[in-house]
Amino acid sequence: MSGHRGPLAVMIPSRERVIVRRGWSFEPTRFDPCEWVSQVLSALRWAAPRGLAGSTGAANSANIRAGTAHRTPVRIRPILPESAMPHRRTLLLTAAASAGLAAAGLAPRAHAQQRLFFGIATGGTGGTYYPLGGMLAQLISNKATVDGRRVTASAEAANASVANAKLIAEKQIESAFVAADILDAAFNGTNQFDKAPLKNLRALGALYPETVQLITRADMNINGVRDLKGKRVSSGAPGSGQYQLLTDLLAVHGMKRDEIREDMSSFTQAVDKIKDGNLEATLITAGVPTSAVTDFAQSHALKLIPLAGPEIAELQKRQPYYTSVTIPAGTYRGVAAPVETLAVMAVWATHDALPENVAYEVTKALFENTAIMGQVHVQGRNISLKTALSVGTTPLHPGAAKYYREKGVLK
């Protein structure tokens, strides 16, 4: 087919996510294999002549979920730069099943109804971004409308802060969760973004504090950052915010990066490697309790390394977004005493091309339903208008600013 790049990889479970690595989203709410294939082919025939098929990339996976409705909506979502798809609208094609479809050899009849699609890039499934992003997407889909059109939102697993900032700046997705220090570095062109500022980034609002957790097994002779010398240590998945944090932690302790044996694994992968003895420690920055750490503590003796003292005070001078916090005793199995460490705010960010009315409605959907966020993770309870403006130097999106002015938190 025109525009196809590489194989079309499809999984077809009955009631789970189906991935089409094609840059397009198809979402049947009732799974009928024959009908589904016909709809996919029809959609690709529609897309190919327009030069819209074939986009690839981490954020370009499509989600297909099977449901129970009689009619079968199919969402076709191109993930393309703004220049290639100026309006980036989602087309909802509603295909009606017909008893004589197979005999007639025709594709399902469909009519187009415009919806606004809104994506949220989160993090790995073992962190906190992912479950809270999923609940936020559900909230927006249930609550937000723009000019009479429903906003259809979805959360996508991604590589977290650094990668997310780039996805937004390139307009490959509408919004993402980004740690405040990474968002600031991206906007101002410092650290990983040295001399390449992403000036089109905008903030929708601060979310909750992400806690820095340096974890190892209890039987390891690691009690501080200096003990990491010569050890196998994960700094997080490529594109995560832990890379810069590890650099700073090592520097204030008089160490260089080449003095450790660095690994770049996701939270879940790193924890599994520690279990298997293939890694000594990992740095995890996420809302506590973090599912990957909870899982580890259920089967292995966990040690949380404290991050406090004069070296950490020096790090906070370099990275003012980090504040001192305490992980309470009992947060994880086997952690019997409080542990001093650091935390940084997670920020919900977007780009400056997001329409003002869309930014307003999605921000409103979140901050007028914060109690629901706490139902999926305890950190959801920390999302509040009182801290919504703690976004650093990145400008607020005008749509979000409008909502905050209405609520009296922004003058």
Helix/strand/coil for 18: strand
What is the spatial distance between Cα 185 and Cα 55, in angstroms, rounded to a whole number? 28
CATH of 208-345, one of 3.40.80.10, 3.40.350.10, 3.40.190.10, 3.90.79.10: 3.40.190.10
CA 202 to chain centre: 16
> What's the CA gap between 327 and 342, in Å, rounded?
9
Which residues share a beta bridge with 116?
151
pLDDT digits (tens, 9 = 90+) for 344-391: 999 999 999 999 999 999 999 999 999 999 999 999 999 999 999 999
Check residue 50 and give its pLDDT.
36
What gap in Å lies between CA 400 and CA 393, rounded to an integer? 15
SS3 129: helix
DSSP symbols for 187-212:
HHT-GGGTT---TTEEEEEEEEEEEE
pLDDT digits (tens, 9 = 90+) for 27-76: 333 344 444 444 444 444 434 443 433 333 333 333 322 222 322 233 33
- Give pLDDT < 70 ranges for the chain: 1-113, 239
Tokens describing residue 173: 């997705």
| Exposed/middle/buried for residue 183 (C-beta within 10 Å: 0-12, 13-18, 19+) | buried
Query: Coil, helix or strand for 78?
Result: coil
| Segments making up each domain of the chain, as ranges | 1-108, 208-345
Beta-bridged to residue 93, according to DSSP, are: 74, 112
Q: What is the model's pLDDT at position 295? A: 93
Cis check for the bond before 289: say yes or no (omega within 30 of 0): yes
pLDDT score for 112: 34
**Model-level pTM?**
0.72
pLDDT of res. 141: 96
User: Do the beta carbons of residue 197 and residue 166 sit within 8 Å?
Assistant: no
